[in-house]
Amino acid sequence: MYTIGVIACIALATLACCSAVTASAASAARCFEDGIPPQRFANVVADGDVFPLGMAVGDWPVARLLSAVSEIIIEELLGVNVSSTISGGNSVDGFYAIAGCTRPSQVSDRGCGSKTTRMHIYLEAWVSLYRGEYDQIQQDFPETAPKSLGSSGYTGTQSMYLPKRILDFAINSEGVPLEFYRTYNSSWYEPSEYFDKLSAVNLSWLRPCRETRFVQSNNMQTYVQVTQDTEGVENIGGSLMAKCQDGFFWRAPACRDNVTRCVPVLTGGTGWEVEAVMQKATLFNMPLALGVATPERYYRIPTEVKSLFVWWAPDDTFVDLNPVELRFPRYDRAAWLNGDLRTAPEQVVIEKLVSQNIGELAPAVEDLVQKMRWSQDDVDIMLRDMKASEDPAHTVACRWLLANSETWSTWLAGETACFEGFGLFDGSSFVADRDGATELACRPCESGSYSEELRDTKGKTHICQKCPVGSCQPSGAAAGCDLCNEGEYQDEEGALDCKRCPLGRFQDEKGKSGCKLCSNGTTTLGLGSLSEQDCGCLPETIREVYNVSCQPCPEGLSCPVLSTLSSLLNGSAIAHELSPRIRAGYFSTAEEPLELFKCIPSTHCPGGPPNTCLGGLSALPCAACGEREYFDGQ
Ligand SMILES: *[C@@H]1O[C@H](CO)[C@@H](O)[C@H](O)[C@H]1NC(C)=O
Ligand SMILES: *[C@@H]1O[C@H](CO)[C@@H](O)[C@H](O)[C@H]1NC(C)=O
Ligand SMILES: *[C@@H]1O[C@H](CO)[C@@H](O)[C@H](O)[C@H]1NC(C)=O
Ligand SMILES: *[C@@H]1O[C@H](CO)[C@@H](O)[C@H](O)[C@H]1NC(C)=O
Ligand SMILES: *[C@@H]1O[C@H](CO)[C@@H](O)[C@H](O)[C@H]1NC(C)=O
Ligand SMILES: *[C@@H]1O[C@H](CO)[C@@H](O)[C@H](O)[C@H]1NC(C)=O
Ligand SMILES: *[C@@H]1O[C@H](CO)[C@@H](O)[C@H](O)[C@H]1NC(C)=O
């Protein structure tokens, strides 16, 4: 739960004559002419300690830019002292920084365990890419784990890319489309022809596998579960890690035994995307060798070595290479949630994280961070400016602030002008208007609800509404609800997910509150049936064609559920066990398969499909049981 509107405990800085010496000239460069000067910044207090508000900053351009924008507003307009620290090259490092860990980017020992934290804000958090670790931190450090203040307004993707010149060379020389994952199937293709050999990468440019996400045992376990590639990992003291034959590159099965066939793939940070790249390489038979470059080298290798690389948007680091994203099968959310990462990556909502206590330390800052939102354009403008001017992030951020006051001014004023994804909250629950309660704030809508625009006398805001029946919403801060799919329904409001149609029912439309009943005498084989065609006869009945009623199964025939004349003749298309069978001792012809005869002696008729006689004789009447020797079962 959120605490809101609590005591403002920003300490007022004592303006002693001699304390201003500490404000160094470089960091004191002000952006706003009328901004609050550094010597008047207030620190925050907790447990008797006085310290600046801590901002953990991801070690990549967008994170540096947006953190600088926030720092300027927090210091110069809200007057709160901010201390920014680079936390590492992965969003996960930022999660740990907020959780109070002292060495957030050291994968092997992040120095966690403190019950307090001096890091309070972390922007550009790719939470859903690292959902497993984020949830684990919530469990492991309940007192300090970061909390999300929702979307930053734009989305991002992280994926594998290749430089356009390699793509063009392959397509122009041999018509090979290197942007498709299937072109890397090593049963057919030799993609390494278009890339440099692994030996072109000096191993001193890489981080040893054991210092990267290759050692995340849980993730490696998932890798084995999804791919069955037990050779790709090794067990080190009870914990699984990716097996790197040379200590630096993990090789996919397709080139594991012949390194000359490997295409180098470089990633950075502590190993962005290693899990997804490993799974794709193995499942799609791609001869990839994956290594994690050091921070200095990550930005250079793709320009020096013909290779694939992990990159993300928005970012302009490799803009000169015109990178082209590798195309994989369409994103499958359910599969990803299950740990199966073979489909394309999703468009990720980039979130803003804060410490749990920021509302007590600096409520105005929490309010601000909650309202901060950038469009994709805002981000691109700043990135282009930084690339062209080569100015530091702070300077670029200031230029953007001075030119875009209409964007950020709404972050500061209008406490009850809630953005999309948020809704009016009166301290204990979400409310539908801002007429009654005085203490209103904006909070992210919870799962099972969505944010709806509300226009009233004060202008535009948003309220949280429960998802209506027939729909659901698994994530928080959502702008709408997802209609239940075919085969599903939801009969309650405010649901996180939809239910599957029960046995005997189906649903062939989206967004329904119930399922349709199979017509009389029919049922479905399992849950979640999508159409009336899934309804078939009950056991011990059979029908001749679809859409006529089911008849009792004649004597001498065994009729499992969903029996039809076609499955008697041709076998069930669903499962072998669902084929109706003639019982031993009975016989029918292929022409009149439902007209059963009892054989005497019964041993001449083994049963099975119609027209089956002992010894493979198939003519009617069976030579083995002549006309006089069988009779109508009735
Ligand atoms: C702001 O914090 C810094 C440490 O990051 C400190 O050196 C400086 O004195 C603080 N400013 C004020 C006005 O307290
Ligand atoms: C690899 O890099 C190291 C350090 O930069 C250098 O000393 C070494 O000669 C390089 N090796 C090769 C094969 O280029
Ligand atoms: C390794 O692969 C290359 C390229 O396909 C091939 O020319 C070479 O014969 C292979 N070597 C072995 C030992 O299979
Ligand atoms: C790769 O090609 C082989 C041979 O055609 C095929 O059997 C296999 O299914 C392909 N693999 C993938 C992942 O498409
Ligand atoms: C369904 O079948 C049962 C018996 O087979 C019958 O009593 C009932 O009236 C039927 N219901 C409908 C809706 O046809
Ligand atoms: C099933 O039969 C009913 C009436 O007998 C008819 O209205 C309907 O169109 C039929 N459906 C199909 C799929 O043939
Ligand atoms: C069984 O299969 C044959 C050949 O595929 C087809 O001609 C026939 O129509 C099928 N019978 C039924 C009842 O579906």
Work out the burial of residue 397: count CB atoms within 10 Å of its CB; fewer than 13 is exposed, 13-18 middle, 19 or more buried.
buried
Atom of ligand 1 nearest to the CA of 43: 14
CA distance 351 to 124: 6
| Cα→Cα distances 580→504, 575, 586, 607, 622, Å | 20, 11, 13, 11, 21
* Radius of gyration for the alpha carbons in the chain, expressed in angstroms and rounded: 33
Beta strand pairing status for 551-552 and 541-542?
A: antiparallel
- With a CB cutoff of 8 Å and minimum separation 6, the contacts of 372 are 70, 123, 152, 153, 352, 408, 411
The tokens for 13 are 């800085």
pLDDT, position 625: 46
The residue whose C-alpha atom lies closest to atom 9 belonging to ligand 4 is 284
Residues in contact with ligand 7 by the CB-under-6-Å rule are 565-566, 569-570
pLDDT, position 202: 95
CATH code for 38-146+355-410?
Answer: 3.40.190.10
CA distance 69 to 378: 11
CA distance 216 to 205: 22
pLDDT digits (tens, 9 = 90+) for 265-294: 999 988 999 999 999 999 999 999 999 999
CA distance 20 to 358: 26
CA distance 569 to 498: 38
CA distance 10 to 358: 11
Measured from the CB, is residue 257 less than 6 Å from ligand 3? no
Measured from the CB, is residue 83 less than 6 Å from ligand 1? yes
pLDDT, position 520: 82
Place of tokens 């001014």: 409
The residue whose C-alpha atom lies closest to atom 5 belonging to ligand 2 is 204
Q: Are 400 and 391 in contact (CB under 8 A)?
A: no
Domain residues of the chain, as ranges? 38-146+355-410, 156-345, 550-625
Measured from the CB, is residue 258 less than 6 Å from ligand 3? yes
The per-type count for the chain, helices as H runs and strands as E runs, is 16, 33
Measured from the CB, is residue 193 less than 6 Å from ligand 3? no
Atom of ligand 4 nearest to the CA of 185: 1
User: 303 in helix, strand or coil?
Assistant: helix
The tokens for 508 are 């062939």
pTM for the full predicted model? 0.54
Buried residues in 592-607 as b, exposed as e (16+ CB within 10 A): ebbebbbbeebebbbb
Place of tokens 């110069």: 76
The rounded Å distance from CA 255 to ligand 3 centre is 10
- Residues of the chain with pLDDT below 50 are 1-27, 618-619, 621, 623-634
pLDDT, position 362: 86
Helix (H) or strand (E) holding 597: strand 597-599
Q: Are 345 and 279 in contact (CB under 8 A)?
A: no
pLDDT, position 463: 92
pLDDT, position 615: 60
Q: Are 366 and 357 in contact (CB under 8 A)?
A: no
Q: Are 348 and 313 in contact (CB under 8 A)?
A: no
Q: Which amino acid is at 378?
A: D
Please give the span between the terminal C-alpha atoms of the chain, in angstroms, as a whole number.
74
pLDDT, position 622: 52
User: 290 in helix, strand or coil?
Assistant: strand
